[in-house]
Amino acid sequence: MFSFSKFIFPILLLLVACQTPKTINTDEIIHKAVQVSGFDTPIFSINFDFREYHYELIRRPSFYSYSRLTTRNGVEVKDIMTSNDPLKRYLDDVSTQLSDSIQRVYSNSLNAVMYFFQLPKPLQDAAVIKEINGSIIVNDKSYWSIKVTFQKDGGGEDFQDEYRYWINQETYEVDFLAYNYQTDGGGTRFRKAINRREIDGFLFQDYENYKPSKKFEPLDSLPVLFEQGYLKQVSLIRNKNIRVVK
C-alpha cells in the first residue's frame, strides 16, 4: 500500500531545513562588518578633513594615534593623543599647558570624530557590550539590530550612552545607527549612511544626522519614525579629502 505520510514527511523536513535561518552571533556579525569596511587592516594611516580640522589616524597592532590640525588667527593648533599618552595641544609646535577639564573636552571631541570615522571597528573594543537585538526591515531591506552599551572601566566618560547599529544582512554594511547621550543636556540622534565609497580597500561613508521630536525617544523606534518622516535632519557629517597610506 502506498504511504502518503512516508512520501511527504522527508519533503517537509527538507522544506523546514531550507527555511530555518542560519544562526549567527554578534561577534561574527561585527567581525564580518569590520572585514567589509577594510578596517581589519593591521597597519595603516588615514588623513581626512572634517569641518575646520585636518585629521590623521594611525593604527598599528596594539597602538593608535589620533591627531587634528587647524589654524586660528595665524596660529597652527594641533591636538594629538595616542593609546599610550593623553591628549596634548601644540601651538605652532610648542606644547601648551591645559587644565584637566579642558583636556577632557578636547580629548572627547577628537575621540568622537575618530570613533564614528572608523566604524564598525570600534565595536570590537574590549569595553563594548554588544548583543543582537533582533531583526528589522527598513526600506525593504533586512537588518540585524545590534545593541551596544559600555563597561564603566575603559568605556570613557560617556560610558552610560547607548547605541544601536543596523547592519545590512546581505552586505554587512552599517546603513543606520542611533545613540543617546547625556552631555550638554543630552539627547538622541539617528544617522543614515550616505555617499559610501571605496578608497584603497577601505569603505568610507558620510551621514545624514537626524533627531526626534522627543529628547530621549527609544532607540528601537527610530527606524520606523525615520521611514514615516517624523525625524528632523539637523546636520550632515561629511569627511573630505580622504587619503589612505598603508
Tell me the pLDDT tens digit for each residue of 119-151.
999 999 999 999 999 999 999 999 999 999 998
Q: Which domain holds residue 30?
A: 24-39+122-246
* Entry pTM: 0.86
pLDDT band of 184, cuts 50, 70, 90: confident
- The helix (run of H) or strand (run of E) holding residue 244 is strand 240-245
Let me know whether 237 and 138 are in one domain: yes
For residue 211, with 0-12 CB atoms within 10 Å meaning exposed, 13-18 middle and 19 or more buried, which class applies?
middle
Let me know whether 63 and 140 are in one domain: no
Give me the mean pLDDT over the 153-172 stretch. Answer: 83
Instruction: Name every residue whose Cβ is closer than 8 Å to that of residue 64 and which is 6 or more positions away in sequence.
Output: 57, 58, 82, 83
pLDDT at 159 over 90: no
pLDDT at 58 over 90: yes
Let me know whether 33 and 94 are in one domain: no
Q: Residue 155's pLDDT is what?
A: 52
Let me know whether 80 and 178 are in one domain: no
Q: Is residue 2 part of a domain?
A: no
pLDDT at 154 over 70: no
Which of 117, 135, 152 represents a domain boundary (last residue)? 117
Q: Is 218 helix (H, G, I), strand (E, B) or coil?
A: coil
Q: Is residue 109 part of a domain?
A: yes
Report how far apart, in Å, the C-alpha atoms of 186 and of each of 14, 131, 182 are: 52, 24, 4
Q: Is residue 4 part of a domain?
A: no
Let me know whether 132 and 237 are in one domain: yes
Q: Which residue has the higher pLDDT, 227 or 15?
A: 227
Ramachandran quadrant class, 51 (left: phi over 0; alpha: psi -120 to 50; beta: rest): left
Which of 83, 117, 151 represents a domain boundary (last residue)? 117
Let me know whether 134 and 166 are in one domain: yes
Let me know whether 187 and 92 are in one domain: no
Let me know whether 151 and 101 are in one domain: no
Place of cell 549567527: 24
Q: Is residue 13 part of a domain?
A: no
Query: In whole numbers, what is the pLDDT of the chain averaged over residues?
Result: 90
Q: Which residue has the higher pLDDT, 9 or 38?
A: 38
Which of 117, 147, 182 represents a domain boundary (last residue)? 117
Q: Residue 209's pLDDT is what?
A: 98
pLDDT at 196 over 90: yes
pLDDT band of 246, cuts 50, 70, 90: confident
